[in-house]
Amino acid sequence: MTAPHGTPSRRGRTNGEDPSVDEDFGAEEALALVRDDARREPRTRTQTRSGARQDARRDTPPDGPSHDEARRAEPPARDEPAGRDEAPRPTARRDQPSRERAREQYPHDPYDQAPHGQAPYDQATHGQAQQAPPARESARTAARPEVFDFDAVEEPPGTPTAAAPGPARPPKPTPSSPPTPHPATPWHQARRIAERAVAGGRAPERVALAEAGGLVLAAPLAALTDLPPFDTSAMDGWAVAGPGPWQLRAGGALAGHAEPKGLEDGEAVAIATGARVPYGSTAVLRSEHGQVDARQRLHAVRESGQGQDIRPRGQECRSGDQLLPLGTVVTPAVLGLAAAAGYDGLLVVPRPRVEVLVLGDELLTSGLPREGLIRDALGPMLPSWLRSLGAEVTAVHRLGDDAEALRTALAESTAEVLVTTGGTAAGPLDHVHPTLRRLGARLLVDGVEVRPGHPMLLARLPDGRHLVGLPGNPLAAVSGLLTLAEPLLRVLSGRIAARPGAVALREEVPGHPRDTRLVPAVLREGEAVPLHFSGPAMLRGIAGADVMVVVPPGGGRAGEELLTLDLPWSAFGDGECFT
């Protein structure tokens, strides 16, 4: 499922206690890991491409800075947005036939995310065609009603934010002073904070195989038997002893039967695939490679070598061999292997219990949108997504915009993790921050430098439970899932971080001047083609996506390798995984 994660070999871990996770892990480090891994392990869907692409990246035009340098540079003054949350307007794009072709299939331009023909995307309006803001949006322009305890924002020591000079607690805004700037956390750092917020999962439990799918091994899987447990025939035919021709013995050996009587040299007996081979057998002759004459003598029409088509006992493993490490997700194949190796049940990390609280008076649970009401997209989306991240979703409650209902739900829930949707911003009905403050929660992440989804948050309640606050815009909520919920739940569910993915962009993707962008894309011939309809309020792009591409501040060039985040269905994405 989701990345970027460290490789198990370098960052292998099952809980937040492994010191190796303390290393900084930015985009460049993650990409370097991918390149390393690609050299070691040729079979990866996100196999990075030739060095030529990297060389091209290093190319510096004679009259200007390299792309990377340009990316690090501040955007030119004329592009500076009026507010910190706005991106510059796009510059005109050159006509490129190949781009046009790609666009026909997978039209994309984040600055043009409305259907073709509509007004261009403007980050300030969050992907919508420009229009007068609705009444509730204008209410958001009001100053932030609550001031947070910025001391309570936990940052690892040495991070740029923590190291930044300035007062620990900003002054309270007064009617004459502008709203306090929001201390958003850089995207990579937010993921690390979420990963380290918890030390590990619940105490391991033994569950029946039928219940273990999707859980994580809490102990290495060691073989309880040799596999195969006895010498078996790999083919239908005859077990033979010594060189032929052989005298065929009456009867035969079938799978599931006790060991047949041993063979003497020059003897053969009919045998089925999977049957125990009789003691004394030197090979199995396939049925299509032998003929029996009238005197019941078996003749080989093709020679079979010593031991041919016999699977010797212990060929796959010996009793006690470690088959899989602790931290492995119990996939269907793991269930099969465990059963073959003698297990009736497995010691696993129980799923962390997660409760979803959907906020918003405007949400309908059925029927068509009407009278300003819209369908709740997140209530139906989150349970299976969270489950794919290792959680057990115990309940989905729809609370409307009711601060008291939210406070009660947070105070009374017994889930280890609460996930709220909506209400993270600073509008009059956005109750998440004030309620957290009332409950004495500690904000570990309060806003992230990522688009969409920058108002996302991670908080710790006084009793140690965690709350992931997802923004209400549906794609922004997905961004929050991938940024904060995935690392938190990965550690709580005992999973090992997967190898980070990287893929080359088929076409340029504009970036935000300072924030990371998460852009839905499809994978085609090893390249990522960014998708259209990927505004913060839209799910149309992500619903057809294979991965989320992590676009660094400043954007990505055609051919540039960028990190990717897997989606729950990514394994089925481009058909290259099942070879």
Q: Applying CB under 6 A, which residues contact ligand MOO?
A: 126, 451-454, 471, 473, 476, 536
Among 127, 472, 511, 573, binds ligand LQZAQKY5 (CB under 6 A): 472
Q: Which runs of E-coded beta strand occur in 279-391? A: 283-286, 290-292, 297-300, 310-311, 322-324, 345-349, 353-359, 363-364, 374-375
The answer to the question of residue 424 lying near ligand LQZAQKY5 (CB under 6 A) is: yes
| 3-state class (DSSP) for residue 351 | coil
| CB closest to ligand LQZAQKY5, residue no | 472
* CB proximity list for 416: less than 8 A, separation 6 or greater: 202, 352, 353, 354, 465, 466, 492
Q: Which does 362 bind (CB under 5 to 8 A by kind): ligand MOO, ligand LQZAQKY5, none?
A: ligand LQZAQKY5
Q: Which runs of E-coded beta strand occur in 133-254? A: 185-186, 205-208, 216-217, 221-222, 232-233, 237-240, 246-253
Among 110, 237, 352, 474, binds ligand LQZAQKY5 (CB under 6 A): 474
Q: Are 196 and 156 in contact (CB under 8 A)?
A: yes
Q: Which does 16 bind (CB under 5 to 8 A by kind): ligand LQZAQKY5, ligand MOO, none?
A: none
Q: CB of 448: closest distance to ligand MOO in angstroms?
A: 9
Residue 571 CA to residue 501 CA, distance in Å, equals 12
Q: CB of 377: closest distance to ligand LQZAQKY5 in angstroms?
A: 4
Work out the burial of residue 195: count CB atoms within 10 Å of its CB; fewer than 13 is exposed, 13-18 middle, 19 or more buried. Answer: buried
Residue 325 CA to residue 332 CA, distance in Å, equals 16
Among 427, 520, 556, 559, binds ligand LQZAQKY5 (CB under 6 A): 427
Phi, psi of 100 (to 5 degrees): -60, -40
Q: Which does 60 bind (CB under 5 to 8 A by kind): ligand MOO, ligand LQZAQKY5, none?
A: none
Q: Is the dihedral of CA 410, 414, 420, 425 positive or negative?
A: positive
The answer to the question of residue 244 lying near ligand LQZAQKY5 (CB under 6 A) is: no
Q: CB of 309: closest distance to ligand LQZAQKY5 in angstroms?
A: 59
Tell me how far CA of residue 520 lies from CA of 44, 130, 566, in angstroms. Answer: 20, 22, 10
Q: Which does 378 bind (CB under 5 to 8 A by kind): ligand MOO, ligand LQZAQKY5, none?
A: ligand LQZAQKY5
The answer to the question of residue 480 lying near ligand LQZAQKY5 (CB under 6 A) is: no
Q: Are 457 and 432 in contact (CB under 8 A)?
A: yes
Q: Which does 422 bind (CB under 5 to 8 A by kind): ligand LQZAQKY5, ligand MOO, none?
A: ligand LQZAQKY5
The answer to the question of residue 430 lying near ligand LQZAQKY5 (CB under 6 A) is: yes
Fill in the amino acid letter for 363.
L
Q: How many CB atoms lie within 10 A of CB 412?
A: 7
* CB proximity list for 165: less than 8 A, separation 6 or greater: none
According to CB under 6 A, which residues from 443 to 462 bind ligand LQZAQKY5? 452, 454-455
Of 204-212, 291-299, 437-445, 467-475: span binding ligand LQZAQKY5 (CB under 6 A): 467-475
Tell me how far CA of residue 569 lies from CA of 103, 207, 222, 335, in angstroms. Answer: 24, 26, 30, 20
Of 163-171, 191-199, 469-477, 503-511: span binding ligand LQZAQKY5 (CB under 6 A): 469-477
Fill in the amino acid letter for 144.
R
Of 203-211, 253-261, 417-425, 520-528: span binding ligand LQZAQKY5 (CB under 6 A): 417-425
The answer to the question of residue 471 lying near ligand LQZAQKY5 (CB under 6 A) is: yes
Q: CB of 565: closest distance to ligand LQZAQKY5 in angstroms?
A: 18
According to CB under 6 A, which residues from 123 to 162 bind ligand LQZAQKY5? 126, 140-141
Between 312 and 400, name the residue whose CB sits nearer to ligand LQZAQKY5: 400
Between 283 and 478, name the residue whose CB sits nearer to ligand MOO: 478
The answer to the question of residue 553 lying near ligand LQZAQKY5 (CB under 6 A) is: no
Q: CB of 472: closest distance to ligand MOO in angstroms?
A: 8
Work out the burial of residue 157: count CB atoms within 10 Å of its CB; fewer than 13 is exposed, 13-18 middle, 19 or more buried. Answer: exposed
Provide the terminal-to-terminal Cα distance of the chain, rounded to the nearest Å: 19
Q: Which does 474 bind (CB under 5 to 8 A by kind): ligand LQZAQKY5, ligand MOO, none?
A: ligand LQZAQKY5
| 3-state class (DSSP) for residue 514 | coil
Q: Is the dihedral of CA 116, 118, 120, 124 positive or negative?
A: negative
Residues binding ligand LQZAQKY5 (CB under 6 A): 85, 126, 140-141, 358, 360, 362-363, 374, 376-378, 421-425, 427, 430, 452, 454-455, 471-474, 476, 536
